[in-house]
Amino acid sequence: MKQNNEQDCNKKIYFAGSMIIDPKTEELDLEKDYRTFLVDIEKILMPFDPIKLNDKYSYGWPSFYYADEQGKPSLSSKLIADMEFKIIPKIDILVAFLQEKITAGTIGEIMYAAMNKKLMYIYYIPSPTESEVYDTNQWYPILMAERINPGNVKVSKVKDLADLLNHLKSDFGIQTIREPKK
């Protein structure tokens, strides 16, 4: 019986969102990625087991490490999609952060989690003229997730990265390992 309680207290969260690419170097800019405020960058650059965030939740995915058949690091779209296809059914909760530029990969993660009936928390930054969620750039994945997975999708507006991190503290008790620069 104790084992079930331990499992119940360690829900795996998949943290979806666009990877930020530095336009000058065309490399991942992990310093600005919201996930690196939750987990040490070095831990998610290599393959890993879920990383404990607190007594209730663990960081279940994504890793920023993808290896091809020869074990070489790769950011191949096919490889990323294959890994996400395997991982999303195994997680308990999907957290998505939708910024101004939403990628097809993030939309795919949201749709696949909705199809797998995962509990979902979608945070988005509203446009300046938005009066409701349906006026935002991110309306499609939000509305589709709500229709595919009714009752399991919580949608929240956030002002910026700092506000998102405060929501994650409030909703999940997750403490950040560093604070965003102002």
Give me the average pLDDT of each 10-residue run along the chain (182 residues).
45 87 76 84 70 88 63 66 87 92 86 97 83 70 94 94 94 89 73
Q: Quick one: pLDDT at residue 89?
A: 95
Q: Quick one: pLDDT at residue 25?
A: 78
Burial class (CB within 10 angstroms; exposed 0-12, middle 13-18, buried 19+) of 8: exposed
Burial class (CB within 10 angstroms; exposed 0-12, middle 13-18, buried 19+) of 88: buried
pTM, entire model:
0.84
Residue 153, beta-bridge partner list: 120
Q: Quick one: pLDDT at residue 29?
A: 75
Residue 62, beta-bridge partner list: none
List, for residues 117-140, the tens digit of each pLDDT value: 999 999 998 877 766 666 667 788
Q: Quick one: pLDDT at residue 112?
A: 95
Residue 61, beta-bridge partner list: 14
Query: Which strands make up the sheet holding 11-17, listed edge to edge?
Result: 51-52, 57-61, 11-17, 93-98, 119-124, 153-157
Q: Quick one: pLDDT at residue 1?
A: 31
Q: Which domains does the chain have, with CATH numbers?
A: 2-172 (3.40.50.450)
For 6-24, the DSSP string reads: HHHT-EEEEEEEPPPB-TT
Q: Quick one: pLDDT at residue 134?
A: 63
